[in-house]
Amino acid sequence: MLSSVLFEYGLSGNSFQVEAFGTGLINNTWKVITPERDYILQRINSAVFKQPVDIATNISLITKYLQQFHPDYKFVAPVVTKNGEEMMYREGEGYFRLFPFVTLSHSKNVVKSPEQAYEAAKQFGRFTRLLGDFDVSRLRTTIPSFHDLTLRYQDFLNAQKNGNRERIFEAESLLKALKKHTGIVIEFENIKTNPEFKLRVTHHDTKISNVLFNAEEKGLCVIDLDTVMAGYFISDVGDMMRTYLCPVTEDEKDCSKIEVRAEFYKSIVQGYFDEMKEELTPSEKKYFFYAGKFMIYMQAIRFLTDYLNNDKYYRADYPGHNLVRAANQTTLLDRFVEKEPFWKDFTR
Ligand code: GN1
Ligand code: MG
């Protein structure tokens, strides 16, 4: 199957080797190794991305803009098929695209040092800044209401009504704990009506594995642009807090290992501000710490919603996986909120 897809890109015969790659929960990803160069092949999950062509449209708009206005920016554009398509469709198999594997680059699955957090935050800040004059309304919405916390909270309430009874019973204490944080949803309502909150080109998935580093450990660029859409900066900054501050991942079962690290927080502020300080409005800056609450809370309720709905969305490697993730993120939220009085002023 994959070889017939690769054939469309002019790769044929037994000149290549294909292996599973990465840790994403939604799409399938492979590394394609050829004697000349390596590639990343991906199949889009079309249950999540209902109009995969919208992704290709956005990437193409961004590629053109960056090539024109920031030709030095290292941007990983997809390889086109022999027919000149940026994304290809295979009956019964779905949508695929191929990227060149950036030579001498590497990605990481966990943030090990504040320097890495700084580099990543700078890269995501730079991406948004370089696209600051791009008309964000031209971007297609690849997942409707993706980071709309109001809607996610509604989905969460619906799952408690209509979800798997046994699982609802099992998750009772977690449900209670999460309901205590509804202030975060109310705050988001204020943001949506605040004219000082700008819709910008937002990545929406700023985990460390979406940054490429060079051999000197400097950030090169960001990758995985499927969820690049109009959005608020709190999505990007918040997801960095969610995934860089803690020494263990969202899959960790032992919640006693969950902590948030001040040095890493400072690095996110520094890296992001080095690019975005002049762009953010005073109102937005006031919500810098809130960004972490927003994203950690949203991820906690998304995992729990999915658990109550029998794991329809996130890949689960074992039956209680999404419950573990939800409990993990709830603990992370508690640890993070404890820091509010101490960290809130770092942005000044
Ligand atoms: C999904 O597939 P992956 O790992 O890139 C999800 C993100 C979540 C993340 C949690 C389209 O991203 O929103 O933060 O899992 N992407 C989508 O690990 O839902
Ligand atoms: Mg992703």
pLDDT tens-place string over residues 213-245? 999 999 999 999 999 999 999 999 999 999 999
* Ligand nearest to C-alpha 224: 2
Same domain, 309 and 176: yes
| Confidence at residue 145, expressed as pLDDT on a 0 to 100 scale | 97
- Number of separate domains in the chain: 2
Domain of 22, CATH number, reads 3.30.200.20
Q: What is the mean pLDDT of residues 139-156?
A: 98
Q: Kindly give the number of the ligand 1 atom that is closest to the alpha carbon of 204.
A: 13
pLDDT band at 249 (very low <50, low <70, confident <90, very high): very high
Is 124 domain-assigned?
yes
Residues 30 and 142 in one domain: no
Least confident of 13-17, 142-146, 150-154: 13-17
User: Same domain for 257 and 280?
Assistant: yes
- Res 348 pLDDT > 90: no
Residues 183 and 39 in one domain: no
Ligand 1 close to Cβ of residue 252 (< 6 A): no
Q: What is the pLDDT of residue 75?
A: 86
Q: Which residue has the tokens 């309502």?
A: 189
The answer on 199 and 138 residing in a single domain is yes
In a domain, 105, yes or no: no
308 within domain boundaries: yes
Res 289: pLDDT:
97
Indicate if ligand 1 lies below 6 Å from the C-beta of 230: no
* pLDDT for 2: 87
* Residue of 204, 222, 202, 203 lying closest to 212 (CA atoms): 222
**CA-wise closest residue to 159 among 150, 146, 168, 169:** 168
Residues 24 and 132 in one domain: no
Assess if residue 90 is contained within a domain: yes
C-alpha span between 32 and 17 (Å, rounded): 6
Using the 3D structure, point to which of 100, 128, 154 is the last residue of a domain. Answer: 100
CA 236/CA 100 separation, integer angstroms: 25
Lowest-confidence segment of 13-17, 48-52, 179-183, 270-274 by average pLDDT: 13-17
Residues 183 and 315 reside in one and the same domain: yes
- 236 Cβ closer than 6 Å to some ligand 1 atom: no
The answer to whether position 109 is within a domain reads no
Ligand 1 neighbourhood includes 24 CB (under 6 angstroms): yes
Task: Find the Cα–Cα–Cα–Cα dihedral 330, 147, 211, 266, rounded to 10°.
Answer: -60
Phi/psi for 42 (5° steps) reads -135, 140
Would 106 be classed as within a structural domain? Answer: no
| 246 has pLDDT over 80 | yes
Residues 178 and 56 occupy one common structural domain: no
CATH number for 296 = 3.90.1200.10
Q: Looking at ligand 1, which atom is closest to the CA of residue 26? A: 2
Ligand 1 atom closest to the CA of 313, numbered from 1: 19
| pLDDT at residue 15 is higher than 80 | no
CA-nearest residue, atom 3 of ligand 1: 24
Domain closes at, from 69, 100, 131? 100
Q: pLDDT > 70: what percent of the chain?
A: 100
- In terms of domains, do 92 and 164 share one? no
Tell me: the pLDDT tens digits for 50-94? 999 999 999 999 999 999 999 999 889 899 999 999 999 988 889
pLDDT in tens, 294-342: 999 999 999 999 999 999 999 999 999 999 999 999 999 999 999 999 9
What's the residue count for the chain?
348
- Do residues 176 and 227 both lie within one domain? yes
| pLDDT on residue 103 | 85
pLDDT, tens digit, for every residue of 90-122? Answer: 888 899 999 999 988 899 989 999 999 999 999
Q: Do 184 and 325 reside in the same domain of the chain?
A: yes
Helix axes 149-162, 288-308, angle to 10 degrees: 30
Q: Let me know if residue 107 belongs to a domain.
A: no
- The boundaries of the domain holding residue 335 are 114-347
Q: CA 239, CA 130: separation in Å to the nearest integer?
A: 20
- Residue 70: what pLDDT? 96
186 in contact with ligand 1, CB cutoff 6 A: no
- Cα Rg of the chain, angstroms: 20
Domain boundary among 100, 125, 141: 100
- Do 93 and 177 lie in one domain? The reply is no
